[in-house]
Amino acid sequence: MIYPFRMNDDRPHFGVRGLVWIEWNMRIIATKDYNDMSKKAANILSAQVIMKPDCVLGLATGSTPIGTYEKLVEWYEKGDLDFSQVTSVNLDEYKGLDRKNDQSYYYFMHEHLFNHVNIKEENTNVPDGTQPDGEKECARYEELIRSLGGVDLQLLGLGHNGHIGFNEPADAFDKTTHCVDLTESTIEA
C-alpha cells in the first residue's frame, strides 16, 4: 500500500537509505485493488500539484508507486497536470549505485516519472548513493530539504515486512537523516 500524507514538521528528514519524520498525520484509505489504490494516490498527488503548482513532493520508489506514476503521466499527457514548477525529493537511494545503474532509484524515477512529464531536471532530487561519506551526504540532503521549506506532500510505500521507506520495523525511528542496513526481505521486495 502507498500511504500519502502531509508532513506537519517543517524539517522532514530524508536520507540516503532511509526516511525519518518527526511528526505526521496519516489518513489510511482502503481501496478495492491495486489499480484503485494507484488512482486514489495519483488523485491526491495531482490535487497537491494543482492547488500549489510550486509544491515540494516527497516521492517513493519500488513496485508499489509504479501505477500511481503511470496515472500521473497519463493525466500529464492529457494536459491535466503541469509539473513545470514542482520540486521533488526522493526518499532514498542504494549506497554505492551509480545513477545510470538500472537498479538505482535515480534511474527508477526517470524511467517511471521524470522522463515523461515536464518537471525540470534541476528540480528533481535523489540522494547521491555514490558519495563515500554517507553521513555527509545525509547532512547535505537534509539541508537541501530544509532549504526548500520542507515537503508539502509525501508518498510512501509500506513493505511486506512492515518497512516504511527504507526504515526497517522498529520501536522508534532515528530523528535525523541516516543510512540504514536493509534486511534481505526488503532488498528482495
Catalytic-residue membership of 125 = no
Catalytic-residue membership of 143 = no
- Give the active site residue among 90, 92, 112, 152: 92
Catalytic-residue membership of 163 = yes
- Give the active site residue among 123, 125, 137, 163: 163
The pairing of strands 124-125 and 87-90 is parallel
Mean pLDDT estimate for the chain: 80
Catalytic-residue membership of 160 = no
How much is the pTM? 0.81
pLDDT digit string (tens) for 70-123? 999 999 999 999 999 999 999 888 788 888 888 888 999 999 999 999 999 999
